A and B are shown apart, each in its own frame.
Chain A
Amino acid sequence: MDEKQNVKIQVRGLSKVFGKHPKKALELRNQGLKRPAILEQTGQTLGLSNIDFDVYEGELLVIMGLSGSGKSTLIRCLNRLIDTTEGEIVIDGENIPTLSDKELLECRRRHFSMVFQNFALFPHRTVQKNAEFGLEIRGINKDERHKIARNTLSQVGLDGWEDAYPNQLSGGMQQRVGLARALANDASVLLLDEAFSALDPLIRKEMQQELTQLQAETQKTTVFITHDLDEALNIGDRIVLLKDGEIVQIGTPEDILTNPADDYVRRFIEGVDMSRILTAESAMRPVRSTARESDGPRTVMHKMRENSIDSIYMLSRDRKLLGLLEVDAAKEAADQGATTVLDYMTQDFRRVKPDEPLQNLFAMFSEKGFPIAVEDDEQRLLGVVVKGAVLDELARAGDQ
């Protein structure tokens, strides 16, 4: 990542000992002892040891580790839901561990919104009132917080659910409420603690995508905790890998895949679903715009102009891929006074299924460089793969 980026949160020498005699544990730690030995000798659990990292302004940082790695402790140290034993956490010049109670409240209100693994929605409040919670706490007046909450709820796709209670919603929708509660608050940092781990895989994918989109739009500094490397690679700008309360590696997904810091990371990566990474589906992008078979030449040209593209996929009413129409052909059709463009389409592009291995795709690009269409068994268009994406994906995985 770019070193010139502004640092939003600076964590230095952060340690956390669970137990009544933290000093003893830290002494042993300084003598080079590890967590199990310290536990045996002192009965103290070394939760986090000497953690250093920065969170950059506007990035999505993933902290990833297995259970017991200290990731939940770490995120709770950031907003001091757990008191630290030693070290600094500086956000905008304030050192969180040394704040007074009153300053801490202020700091939490201004800087931190949090989304929880099991949603932690208030069951006695409606969806709307849940979303308003942070604003209510801060004393924002009723009309304003009502408006903000409504906007954020519609941002996460919960229009019309304002008066429902959390127990009337599915898991995915409940977490959307959790997300809305966090976004409505407009704090400067968004903390997500295993936010999608309790959701089923399909919903989870969807939420990951929405989160990355939202994050890209709002540029909100985000710290995301997960135990799932796939998820980390999928959404993280950078990843902090945690093991037994210590940092093993910090880097972009690319760094971690290509240069695993040690065997621990390597073993982790081997667990990543390589077949998924190396298929057409992984390099596929959604299609920006498509035309319908009933569209006339002028409609099609208008669509191309609107999206600044010079060819467009034609779909039948049931979304089957009929062919590709280039802008020149569309113009020709218009000049000849044709009412349909179906006769002007070209088939000079390749179609593949989503599970097509990525290596095969490379040789398929036509001279004109049309993207490769990915379609399902019913010939419905799922997305397209452009040349650059294939290269990216291959480079990512190639060095292993």
Chain B
Amino acid sequence: MDIVRIPLGEWIEGGLNWLTSEYSVVTRSISHFTKIGINSLNDGLMWLPQWALLAMIVLLCWRVSSYRLGIGAALGLALIWNLGLWDPMIETLTLVVIATLVAVAFALPVGIAAALSERLYRLSMPILDFMQTMPAFVYLIPAIPFFGIGSVSAIFATVIFSMPPAIRFTTLGIRQVPVELIEAADAYGATRSQKLFKVQLPLSLPTLMAGINQTIMLALSMVVIAAMIGADGLGSEVWRAIQRLRPGDGFEAGIAVVILAMLLDRLTQSLSRSRR
């Protein structure tokens, strides 16, 4: 006796096809605007002389964190420059920055709403689990019919993959605010929004920044993987090295990713610490 196989894949494909054809106007305009964003940020960063940008980043690291991070940044970026990976590095950085901005722009309101409503909290947690545990590559597939091959698809997949921690940490941060402080705000007649902006958000800022830090790290890892669907940057250098079987090139690009990751991580961590 044959058990009928549930056509789960067909259903999902049907749904995606329907979305693609029905909302092509939407996807096309998203695609358009994202491209403008990517190109202008990319062009802006590339327009600056490389030494000037390098000096600016070093200065930023020094001011926000410590002279040690400044020296680290100078050495790391100089190495990337020397290896001829400056332009791919900028392309990767652009994708990370835009994906993070979009992810945080979605995550903040969702995270706040989930913190304030028990029902939304219970609804959002399994969805976040789904988004985080689904293998990252899978997001690349529907991205292509939506936005075509290239950077926009990479951003789409990256946003979905990197958003959950920002939502989770925002929710966690707000829910961790001590009850007495909420009570104090209530006792003095604070409205919901006064409570949010004067008490809950400022007090959850360190946690929130930790979430954004996680989002940036996940975005960086995804942007590299997204080279498989034609995203530019360090990932495509690695991808090319794989195809040509040149481990040396692969490691060079890989080390550049590591340097970029460490810089972004230390930088956002000290940002969150100085806000405390």
Interface residues of A (CB under 8 A from B): 79, 81, 105-109, 112-114, 116, 118, 120-124, 133-134, 136-138, 185, 191
Contacts and interface: CB of A to CB of B under 8 A. Distances in A.
B184 A116 contact: yes
A107 B194 CA distance: 17
A120 B184 contact: yes
A45 to B, nearest CB: 19
A166 to B, nearest CB: 11
A108 B187 contact: yes
8 contacts: A108-B187, A112-B187, A114-B184, A118-B180, A120-B183, A122-B184, A122-B199, A134-B188
Contacts of B205: 124
A81 B189 contact: no
A109 B187 CA distance: 8
B180 A116 contact: yes
Nearest to B206: A124
Nearest to A138: B189
Given A105-B190, A107-B189, A137-B185, 17 more contacts: A81-B183, A112-B189, A113-B188, A114-B187, A118-B180, A120-B180, A122-B199, A122-B203, A124-B202, A133-B198, A134-B188, A137-B189, A137-B190, A137-B194, A137-B198, A138-B189, A191-B187
Contacts of B190: 105, 137
Contacts of A108: 186-189
Contacts of B178: 120
A81 B178 CA distance: 15
Nearest to B180: A120
Please give me the 8 A-B residue pairs with the lowest Cβ-Cβ distance, nearest first: A109-B189, A108-B189, A120-B180, A114-B187, A120-B184, A134-B188, A124-B202, A105-B189
Most chain A beta carbons < 10 A, residue from B181, B187, B199: B187
B188 A124 contact: no
Interface string B184-214: 1111111100100011001101000000000
Contacts of A136: 198
A123 B198 CA distance: 12
A118 B178 CA distance: 11
Contacts of B187: 79, 81, 108, 112-114, 191
Interface of B: 178, 180-181, 183-191, 194, 198-199, 202-203, 205
Contacts of A134: 188-189
B181, B184, B186, B202 interface centre (most CB from chain A within 10 Å): B184
Which of B183, B189, B198 gathers the greatest number of chain A CB atoms within 10 Å? B189
A122 B188 contact: no
Nearest to A119: B180
Contacts of A121: 184
Contacts of A109: 188-189
A112 B187 CA distance: 7
Contacts of B188: 108-109, 113-114, 133-134, 137, 185
Contacts of A107: 189
A364 B193 CA distance: 66
A120 B189 contact: no
Contacts of B202: 124
A108 B194 CA distance: 14
A105 B181 CA distance: 17
B105 to A, nearest CB: 24
Given A124-B203, A136-B198, A106 B181 contact: no
Given A105-B191, A136-B198, A137-B194, A120 B181 contact: yes
B12 to A, nearest CB: 41
Contacts of B181: 120, 122
A114 B191 CA distance: 17
